[in-house]
């Protein structure tokens, strides 16, 4: 059997998150340019956990695009398949942190380079030789990049690669929420591993009861083997076979913003599957998985940015030891 070249390959957006960072002397808000984008956030955390990762996407041939490649490489991510667009600029997002740490996004992406990735730019060998392929819906908002995503999924399935999906719903980026719902439904039908937020679960099922919502999804999409629901400050749920596990979030204070928390959680779930496999997981396994993922996600909320804010494994383990009951 040929050894996989990468543990995880992800496709999608790579952008600059301008996050609030105080006020100027004149009282104007200051924004810090943080490298971000959900797929690379996931890969950055996996890199901290010692996994080999590759990214597929497109940025502008500009100062932001070059900076993003540099930072991602510093995080240990293979960027050999990052494409530079000479005409379309790198996507930008301005993130306002609301009371309680929730976020409001303003995107500058009409167009943005990430949505211009083409099917012919997707590397077949890299995806086929990865243990897990991860994607979200920001690479499905427009026809061209949607075709690229579909091509990547074809390669993944042909290679027997496990598929991970995080809807990462951002309503301002869709022409209509019905289109968003259609594309999320398509993604749900492709994946083995799902990370879905509470608001996305309600969006897709109409259910505010997580158990009922997860049951509906798993019945409609029996391909989903590991289903994780994140509920912010409440905690997280895992559904696998007949098992259902809930682990409350850590409530230690110190939250600055929540950018990257869900991506960190997702990365930790993928890491657990890489280290333990996807077959025969027990309630104890799922509890261990969620505890680690919750702790890592909490640590990220105490820092600004995402790619450069991912915790080391030792930090997560120390926090778990400190908070053990």
Indicate which CATH number applies to the domain containing 109: 3.40.1190.20
CA 101 to chain centre: 18
The 10s digit of each residue's pLDDT in 108-153 is: 998 999 999 999 999 999 999 999 999 999 999 999 999 999 999 9
Phi, psi of 36 (to 5 degrees): -160, -160
User: Does the residue 262 lie in any domain?
Assistant: yes
The half-sphere exposure of 6 on its side-chain side, counting CA atoms within 13 A, is: 31
Mean pLDDT of the chain: 94
Q: Determine the pLDDT at residue 325.
A: 61
Tell me the whole-structure pTM to 2 decimals. 0.95
Q: Please name every residue paired with 158 in a beta bridge, in sequence order, or none if there are none.
A: none
Q: Determine the pLDDT at residue 20.
A: 83
For residue 1, name the pLDDT band (cuts at 50, 70, 90): very low
- In this prediction, what percent of the chain has a pLDDT beyond 70? 97
The stretches of the chain forming alpha helices (DSSP H) are: 38-48, 63-74, 124-128, 143-158, 177-188, 198-205, 210-220, 261-276, 283-301, 313-323
Q: Determine the pLDDT at residue 100.
A: 60
* DSSP per-residue string spanning 145-186: HHHHHHHHHHHHHHTT-EEEEE----GGGSS-HHHHHHHHHH
The 10s digit of each residue's pLDDT in 275-299 is: 999 999 999 999 999 999 999 999 9
CB atoms < 10 A from the CB of 287, how many?
A: 15
Higher pLDDT, 257 or 56: 56
For residue 76, name the pLDDT band (cuts at 50, 70, 90): very high
User: Does the residue 17 lie in any domain?
Assistant: yes
User: Does the residue 308 lie in any domain?
Assistant: yes
Q: Determine the pLDDT at residue 92.
A: 96
User: Does the residue 225 lie in any domain?
Assistant: yes
Q: Determine the pLDDT at residue 101.
A: 57
**Rounded CA separation 269/290 (Å):** 8
Provide the residue range defining the domain that includes 16.
Answer: 6-323
Q: For residue 27, give every residue at least 6 positions away whose Cβ sits within 8 Å of its Cβ, in sequence order, or none.
A: none
User: Does the residue 1 lie in any domain?
Assistant: no
- In this prediction, what percent of the chain has a pLDDT beyond 90? 85
* Overall average pLDDT of the 80-96 stretch: 95
3-state secondary structure (DSSP) of residue 101 = coil
User: Does the residue 183 lie in any domain?
Assistant: yes
Q: Determine the pLDDT at residue 274.
A: 98
**Rounded CA separation 139/151 (Å):** 12
**pLDDT above 50: residue 81:** yes
Give the chain's domain count.
Answer: 1
Burial 184-220 (b: 16+ CB within 10 A, else e): bebbbebbbbbbbbbebbebbbeeeebeebbbbbbee
Q: Please name every residue paired with 248 in a beta bridge, in sequence order, or none if there are none.
A: 235
User: Does the residue 127 lie in any domain?
Assistant: yes
The 10s digit of each residue's pLDDT in 29-70 is: 899 998 999 999 999 999 999 999 999 999 999 999 999 999
Q: Determine the pLDDT at residue 5.
A: 92
First to last CA, the chain: 43
The 10s digit of each residue's pLDDT in 163-205 is: 999 999 999 999 999 999 999 999 999 999 999 999 999 999 9
User: Does the residue 163 lie in any domain?
Assistant: yes
**pLDDT above 90: residue 95:** no
């Amino acid at each position: 059997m040929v050894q996989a070249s990468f543990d995880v390959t992800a496709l999608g957006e790579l952008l600059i998150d301008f996050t609030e960072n105080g006020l100027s002397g004149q009282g104007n808000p200051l924004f810090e340019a943080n490298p971000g984008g959900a797929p690379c956030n996931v890969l950055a955390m996996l890199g901290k956990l010692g996994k080999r990762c590759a990214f597929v996407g497109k940025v502008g041939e500009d100062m932001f695009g070059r900076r993003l490649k540099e930072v991602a490489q510093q995080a240990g991510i293979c960027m050999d398949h990052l494409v530079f667009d000479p005409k379309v600029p790198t996507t930008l997002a301005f993130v306002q942190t609301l009371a309680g740490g929730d976020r409001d996004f303003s995107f500058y992406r009409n167009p943005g380079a990430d949505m211009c990735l083409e099917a012919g730019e997707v590397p077949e060998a890299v995806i086929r030789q990865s243990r897990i392929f991860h994607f979200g819906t920001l690479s499905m908002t427009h026809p061209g990049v949607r075709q690229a995503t579909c091509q990547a999924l074809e390669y993944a399935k042909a290679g027997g690669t496990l598929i991970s999906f995080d809807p990462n719903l951002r309503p301002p980026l869709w022409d209509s929420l019905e289109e968003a719902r259609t594309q999320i439904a398509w993604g749900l039908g492709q994946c083995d591993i799902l990370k879905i937020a509470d608001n996305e679960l309600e969006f897709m099922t109409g259910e505010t009861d997580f158990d009922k919502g997860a049951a509906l999804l798993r019945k409609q999409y029996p391909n989903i083997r590991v289903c994780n629901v994140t509920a912010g400050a409440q905690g997280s749920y895992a559904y696998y076979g007949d098992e259902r596990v809930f682990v409350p979030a850590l409530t230690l204070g110190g939250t600055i913003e929540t950018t990257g928390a869900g991506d960190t959680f997702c990365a930790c779930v993928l890491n657990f599957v890489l280290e333990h496999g996807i077959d025969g997981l027990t309630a104890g396994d799922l509890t261990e998985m969620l505890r680690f993922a919750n702790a890592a996600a909490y640590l990220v909320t105490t820092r600004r940015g995402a790619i450069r804010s991912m915790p080391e494994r030792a930090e997560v383990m120390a926090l778990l030891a400190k908070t053990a009951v």
